[in-house]
Amino acid sequence: MRERMMRYLRYLLPMKWWFLLAILSGVIAAGASGMGIPFMIYKVFPVVFDPSKMPEAVSEFMAARVDPANLKNVLLLLACAVMPVVFVIRGVAMWLNAVLVSYVGMKILEHIRMDVFRKLQSLPLSFLERQQKGDLISRVITDTQNVQTMITQVSNDIIKQPLTAVSAIGVLVYMMYEQGTMGMMLTNIGFAALALAPIIICGKRIANRSRKAQKGLGDITSVVQESLASQREIRSYGLEQRQIDELSKGTDKYCKDQLKAVKYQQILVPVMETVTALALANMLVQGRAMGMTLTDFLGIAGALFFAFDSMKRAGIAFNKLNQAQASLERLDAILSEPDTMPDPELPQPIGRVEGRISFRNVNFSYEEGKPILKNIQVEIPAGQVVALVGPSGAGKTTFASLIPRFYDATSGAVLIDGVDVKDVAKTELRRHLALVSQHAMLFRQSIKENIRIGRPQAEDEEVLQAAREASVFSFLDDQPQGIDTVLGDAGGGLSGGQRQRVAIARAFLKDAPILILDEATAALDAESEEKIQHELEHLVKGRTTLIVAHRFSSIRVADRILVFSHGEIVGDGTHSKLYSSCPLYRELYDKQGI
Ligand SMILES: Nc1ncnc2c1ncn2[C@@H]1O[C@H](COP(=O)(O)OP(=O)(O)OP(=O)(O)O)[C@@H](O)[C@H]1O
């Protein structure tokens, strides 16, 4: 934990002055509690009752200024005035300390949350595909919230209480030294050690349970996320009860783990209070045996109470941090995930792209030892429209995914206009590519803004022109606010074909030289597909286009067809050439009955 905490210290740097102010106010608050109050009991109050106990210097100072007949009243007045002053200083310092610790903590967390989210945006797709989406959501939302809550809860205690304990122990040592009762100190050290044991033991258990609980919360979020995303499947297959049972099992486990963490958290208070009572009882016995006066005893007892009480509160705060540690670990796992597809150190500019694509001896596998693409060797001239066909799982989508660097070739190279895509910054590379996929993803904003994603700086008229080219206007009459209608999650409120049109408009607006249509019409019925074909034919003109074709009807716009089988290209040519020379192509084509 300490190592991880050290790593987070770099987040602290920009807030170092606020943090130092927080510590300073913590020191003042701690001094006022741990030293100020026992000091008042031990040194100030006795003088009010017996002025002869006044230190010599103070006595001389008073003698020169106060009538001896009034001395008792003046001393009482002064003591009464000192008390509120000590408490005001203590109160202001405590408030400032708590507010500043919360502020610094929340700011740090804000940076961590943003860094985690930024990292998620940049990590390779292969990493994201291995994760449960719900668990990732839970990390970004719940784990950061968990850390935030803990920071607020411990802000009042995390600096102040350990310092209060230290200052109270300091006063205790001073008093015992002054009274020659250091033997008593040794037994108190024994009690202090006894008090630390539960803090350490409980701390470890709390961290373990919290780790399990947070993982459980991730699983719960995954079930909810999956259920909401797959309502059609769940309802059509009658899986409602199965999902409910799964959530119920998950929440049950989560509650049990949480409860165990709470049990360890709460056991600390009674254990520490018992130890404090034992230490006080011990002092009472030893104090009487040593002939201590009540005033001396009360001063020492006050300091002892503050020392143990602060240790208890610091222990509770540290255990809360142990709970937050589990969440921090989960965030840290994302932050420390290595980027296996970094941008080149010296990215090569590619300038104006014509759109020539070359695959040179490309091999690719998602998992070691399971080759998906085998020694692919293809040259696609700029402006050529190429359809990728082949049985399911043959590697068509994977082939197309290597061009925008969704994945990197395991060996060999993919080049655009002769430049290896690995030598180009990913954002620069992707600026020259437009992608229309099977399930067009639309965002929770207006249709117009969804199209503008293609080129955010585009003028309104350009967006409208792209919408016209993709025939978006053909369905806008049904939308309450036309092109300004705000869509639901993932384009809710539009049909598959309508969503597809918006995605095509986006590609028109982007006007990229390379276009990847990944089964762009596969989700549509024959009639919608027929209508969209027209827009697609218009879109592909003058661009290097790869069409991952499931339905052979979409290959009619292609100049060339690549036939994939088990990760290899087994046919390359026009329809008529392949129909006569490639048995797999003929078989696939005939099966579709076109
Ligand atoms: N993210 C992934 N992780 C691991 N294996 C994957 C992943 N994506 C695809 N595969 C595997 O790679 C192989 C090729 O998949 P790909 O999607 O490229 O095929 P395809 O020809 O496009 O198939 P389809 O026409 O069914 O979409 C398949 O065996 C598939 O199981």
Nearest atom within ligand 1 for CA of residue 394: 21
Question: Where do the structural domains in the chain lie, given as residue ranges?
Answer: 2-13+109-335, 382-401+425-592
In angstroms, what is the span from residue 398 Cα to ligand 1's centroid?
A: 6
Q: Model confidence over 429-475: pLDDT tens digits?
A: 888 998 888 777 788 888 888 898 888 888 888 888 888 888 877 77
In angstroms, what is the span from residue 507 Cα to ligand 1's centroid?
A: 24
Say how many CA atoms lie within 13 Å of 78 toward its Cβ.
Answer: 18
pLDDT at 594 over 60: no
Q: From 528, 444, 540, select the one nearest 492 (Cα to Cα).
A: 444
In angstroms, what is the span from residue 401 Cα to ligand 1's centroid?
A: 11
Fold of the domain spanning 382-401+425-592? Rossmann fold (3.40.50)
In angstroms, what is the span from residue 516 Cα to ligand 1's centroid?
A: 16
pLDDT at 523 over 60: no
In angstroms, what is the span from residue 432 Cα to ligand 1's centroid?
A: 25
In angstroms, what is the span from residue 436 Cα to ligand 1's centroid?
A: 18
Encoded amino acid at 350, one letter: I
Mean pLDDT of 83-112: 84
**Candidates 125, 363, 366: which one to mutate for ligand 1, based on the most atoms within 8 Å of Cβ?**
366
Interface ipTM: 0.96
pLDDT at 7 over 70: no
Q: Model confidence over 495-518: pLDDT tens digits?
A: 777 888 888 888 889 888 999 988
Q: What was the pLDDT predicted at 357?
A: 92
pLDDT at 3 over 70: no
**Helices (DSSP H) in 349-495: which residue ranges?**
396-401, 426-431, 447-452, 460-469
Residue whose CA lies nearest to ligand 1 atom number 5: 366
Residue whose CA lies nearest to ligand 1 atom number 7: 366
- Say what the pTM is: 0.70
Mean pLDDT, the chain, rounded, equals 82
Name the strand (E) or helix (H) holding 361. strand 357-365
pLDDT at 360 over 90: yes
514 φ/ψ angles, rounded to the nearest 5 degrees: -120, 135
In angstroms, what is the span from residue 163 Cα to ligand 1's centroid?
A: 60
- For 2-13+109-335, CATH number out of 3.40.50.620, 3.90.79.10, 1.20.1560.10, 3.40.50.300 equals 1.20.1560.10
Residue pair 22/159 in contact (Cβ under 8 Å)? The answer is yes
Same fold, 2-13+109-335 and 382-401+425-592: no
pLDDT at 137 over 70: yes
Higher pLDDT, 187 or 227: 227
Q: Model confidence over 317-344: pLDDT tens digits?
A: 888 887 788 888 888 888 888 888 888 8
Instruction: Return the structure tokens found at 69.
Output: 């007949």
Q: Model confidence over 373-385: pLDDT tens digits?
A: 999 999 999 889 9
Say how many CA atoms lie within 13 Å of 38 toward its Cβ.
Answer: 29
Residue whose CA lies nearest to ligand 1 atom number 26: 392
In angstroms, what is the span from residue 225 Cα to ligand 1's centroid?
A: 24
Mean pLDDT of 129-138: 82
CA gap 108, 104 in Å, rounded: 6
- Write out residues with Cβ below 6 Å of ligand 1: 129, 366, 372, 390, 392-398, 548, 550, 564
Q: What was the pLDDT predicted at 528?
A: 62
**Helices (DSSP H) in 230-239: which residue ranges?**
231-236
**Candidates 126, 367, 372: which one to mutate for ligand 1, based on the most atoms within 8 Å of Cβ?**
372
Q: What was the pLDDT predicted at 580?
A: 87
Q: What was the pLDDT predicted at 386?
A: 93
Residue whose CA lies nearest to ligand 1 atom number 13: 393
Residue pair 350/425 in contact (Cβ under 8 Å)? The answer is no
Higher pLDDT, 551 or 1: 551
Higher pLDDT, 357 or 325: 357
